[in-house]
Structure 1
Amino acid sequence: MSPVIALESLSKGYDIAGGSRLTAVDDVSLQIAAGETYALVGESGCGKSTLARMAAMLVTPDEGQVSWSGQPVSRERRSAVRAQRDHTQFVFQDPAAALSPRLTVEEAVSEPLRIRRRAGARSVADLLDDVGLDRSMGRRYPRELSGGQRQRVVIARALALEPKLLVLDEPVASLDVSVQAQVLNLLADLQAAHGLAYLLIAHDLAVVSSVADRIGVMYLGRIVEEGTAAEVVTRPRHPYTQMLIASVPAFAPGERVDGPRVVGDPASPTERHAGCAFASRCTVATQTCHEVVPPRRDLGGVAVRCHHAS
């Protein structure tokens, strides 16, 4: 069976003031199947959101190919891209910013249907039922709802066009911890009911490890480690992944996991790196790391870009 979406060797850069060029995404490939949650984690500015926007063809790649359900998406046929773009919908971090304060819940949820002129599509009432909201809330405005309720409205709106892939951009980061669990459980139920594929963008490995099937760890535009959530979280191979795992707060002092010490500052994204982009911060880096880009190696089901991973 073809994956819902496949990204092949995507790269994207931006010209900035002073004649420099910022490389946001550098030769990234991944696939997501129906019913699967792929989590993309990394520090702010590593290229996660740019990659997600290329997946939805909101941003055109400089290099590489995007395929939906096994069909390559042509960058030249804009009408075809618009028709297929409905299959990918976004759920953003801040639901208050994602909803217009001038629209009622019913108007907000039905807006995609009006824009796409979907006659006979699912009703707003059914969509609110799906996300656990009473139908009477359709008459309310976003200011009359709690943060968790607003995020449920955003999810309902994303489901209106019956997408195959949801891009979840830090979907619970702005919510209280107890509400986070409720929203994550809702997303799991919706995925099971509709066979949705999820691209989950996050920096919190504690959240990601409990909901993701696979994890891709991104650093300065490159995926440096990829594998099942259990393998990546419990047996991280790349020094950067080990650093991220060690930074997760422990519930008790005795549960703290010591990771490698990070040295130096992050490399500039405006510079093309001859070797590993993480070499300037890595305590095990050798001269080879500074001169040769690490190849992608398969280590027991986990793919790692590191000369010294074992």
Structure 2
Amino acid sequence: MTPRDAAGNPGAAGDSGRWSDLDRPPLNAVALRRGLVQEGGLWTGIDIVPRTGSTNSDLVALAAAGKADEGTVLVAEEQTSGRGRLDRRWTAPPRSGLFFSVLLRPAEVPVARWGWLPLLTGVAVATGLSRAAGVDTALKWPNDLLVTVGGEERKAGGILAERAGADGVVVGVGINVTLRAEELPVPQAGSLALAGAVSTDRDPLLRGVLRALEEWYGRWRAAGGDPFVSGLQEAYTAGCATLGRTVRAELPGERSVVGEAVALDGDGRLILATEEGVREPVGAGDIVHLRPA
């Protein structure tokens, strides 16, 4: 007889110890599909794997092979080679967070506006977690989720978008949910639990995030990707912790720019006002917050 976990998924023989942490139960795939996969809705399938290298890499490969439709969601209970921007690695204990990727094909939106998808996902994640976890979150441009732990700003999540063929984008999300202080990979990291979340039950958290993502994606797509008409630019600006701060932008080619982050332009670029009186748009790079807002 094949051993199964609490969600009804097959498990490896002799692997029962993986489910011994009662604070970190497995996700319930059946319930998630029942709650999210609806006729006429965005989400067309939800698959949960116990362990993989990277959900983004897996879903990009499935899309390339013609084995994934728009709205496919791939979730891993554990990622061993999760990636963030600049190819940074993202690792966490099994079932301590939400690690998932979604396939989007925004055919109605000009490709020039697809750069808004990571920002849109950030707004959706912050919206969903606020509703389901009751924790205040902020967005660090372009793709980090921040929470407050002990009065300090900490990174609790990240977003990575990758092209999937000519017509698709895979957006990956990693969120630390129950990570304990002694499990933090770096002192600047945080988790929803450490930020005082009222709930760390991953099933309703994932449902909340995916419902918010469906809502924002639908609104943006209906507006032809226009960030102003869809309300996306306003929403991101309202939740962005980077705006109003002095920051250092570390740019490709080992160049850096220091200035005050004053706005987002229509392409989702961060506008820095430098001491020399120059307004420089930053479309790609690493942002370091140098002083509080």
- The reply to whether TM is greater than 0.5 is no
Shorter-chain TM-score: what band? Answer: under 0.3
**Which one has a larger percent strand, Structure 1 or Structure 2?**
2
Larger RCO of the pair (alpha carbons < 8 Å, separation 6+): 1
TM superposition score normalised by structure 1: 0.25
Structure 1 or 2, whichever has the larger Rg, is 1
Higher helix share: 1
